[in-house]
Amino acid sequence: MVPPILAEYFRHQNIIARRTRLVELIVERIGSAESASAVLAERSAAQTIGHEAVFAGLVRERARARRLVTSVEWEEHPSPSSATRYIAALIESHSAMVEETVELVLAATDPSLGDPESIAKFLALQANWVAHVHGDIEAAVGLLRGRSEDLGPYARILDAAEVSVRTYLDRVPEDFPAKLELVDGLPVSVQLALLETQMLVLVTGCRFSDARNVFQMIETLDPQASRTQPRVLLGLALLGQGLHSEALRVLMNGFEESRGRLDTEGVRGFGAAAAICHTHSGDYSAMDELLDAVFVVGEPTPFPPGAQIALLTVAANMASRRGQTLLAERYAGDAQRYNLADGPLPGQSLAWPVSQLLILNGRPAEAADELWSSGEQLWHRKAYFASILSMLVALEIKPDAERLLVAQRHLESIPEAAAMQAQGKYVAALHDHDPRGMMNAAAELAQTGRFGLAVGACQLAAQWYGESGEHERRLQALEYVSRIRSDAGEVDLDVLRFNSYRTVLSERELEVAELAAAGLTNKEIATQLVISVRTVDSHMHRIMRKLDVPNRRSLSHHLGQGRSRP
């Protein structure tokens, strides 16, 4: 790195060129030759301007320097400590060549050359690699247990790694309290490893207050906040408790600090969690810039676990909501192509991008089934936070009395999950067509930072009140919409959500549908949009199939339900 680059980095403002239409065009042209995330990374690195271009250059230079220094160090002395540093430098970016090099380093390193702490950290890294890259959980656990007796107190790092691997890829182990218990005399590095894994298990299980207490212990041991994961988990715990603004502040502070340090792991970890936080509130106003800033650091990596699938999920969601089918498919395909396993935290499941594609293709019932099935599997894994979110969204897309009872029983067992409790009341009111219940849910949703869903709840209640002739209550519901929007600030709220025709239809299909709903014939639509009548016929066929409506009158009614009412 040279000083002029740093000078440019700190002098420029954070200006990010919008990439949506150009990336969509690129994806249409390149077919399946490259991944969408690769396109994003290349475009962000090569074509973004000012601050972001310099940031991308600094990240590449720092990564190159780290790989060079650590490779020389390891080649001269292939010990566990040098191997751990070299592998950490390698996996800042992910490719077939990186995987091959990591495998070589793991195989050629002699664990006996290190002290107990460096050996434990090396074995923990190796086990995570075997579990997350090879997908072999039992081999990873066998590796950890095979050396635990030789390492004294540092063997507890291997206990933490085992619980982490099983929580991320299998299920929370029954014996986690014993494996993660703190005892007197443990080195600080061991205590931090145990406490961080405790936080993972507690947030996964919706024990948010306990997780925050553990974070306070970590802060005492690590006042410099050198570890990314505890603060990411703190943000998610605050989100689960309904403290949305506090959660976003923690995550965005960590994100900006990581950018300042050129810390790619932090950028990915904090960025993924912040994206989930924005999705949770329905605020998409800053999402493009956030995703640009994350993808600019390069291709997906196996660490931090779960971050990449969450990022691809959010990106697929954004593309789906804009009707960009090809781009949404590419993001979903990336998550599968990179063999990213479902994680235990919100957004870390392939069911999310898959369900978005199903909705986009006019198959919402299948999308609901996909999310419900994922939620059931996650509940079995004791990943209650991620599970209940999947189940509630499935019920939002397709209300079902039997499933609603299951979700309500689950909610009773996780009383701390305030944000999900409010969403549970929303889906119950949706199922019962209960405007008063919907208004009560809207109040709780707004209080927990679910602004987009709260506005949608008020609009539904207003619609139902209008249909039953309760015009004063309808006006009250619409007045509450204005208050919620004011509280949310100047942001682009996602109000129509998953059942919206705007989610299902592409931009052109949306234009045709709204003109047809307004009473125009296919010929008149063709004239207004300057396209052929045959093209309009084709669009209308897809619109009717996607929305599952039999005729134009039904189409007009369907679109009228989805529009925001004045």
Domains of the chain by residue range: 186-412, 433-499, 505-562
| Alpha helices, H only, 222-363 | 228-240, 244-261, 264-281, 287-295, 307-321, 325-337, 351-360
Amino acid at 538: S
Q: How far apart are CA 462 and CA 478, in angstroms?
A: 6
Q: How far apart are CA 477 and CA 482, in angstroms?
A: 9
Predicted pLDDT of residue 297? 82
Predicted pLDDT of residue 561? 45
User: Model-level pTM?
Assistant: 0.82
Q: How far apart are CA 264 and CA 274, in angstroms?
A: 15
**What is the topology classification, in CATH, of domain 186-412?**
1.25.40
**Phi/psi of residue 486, each to 5°?**
-65, -40
Please give the structure tokens belonging to residue 67: 């790989």
- Domain 505-562 annotated CATH 1.10.10.10: yes
Q: What is the DSSP letter of 500?
A: -
Q: How far apart are CA 418 and CA 208, in angstroms?
A: 10
Q: How far apart are CA 377 and CA 382, in angstroms?
A: 9
Residue 328 burial by CB count (10 A; 0-12/13-18/19+): exposed, middle or buried? Answer: buried
- Residue ranges of the chain with pLDDT lower than 70? 1-52, 148, 300, 321-323, 490, 495-507, 546-549, 557-566
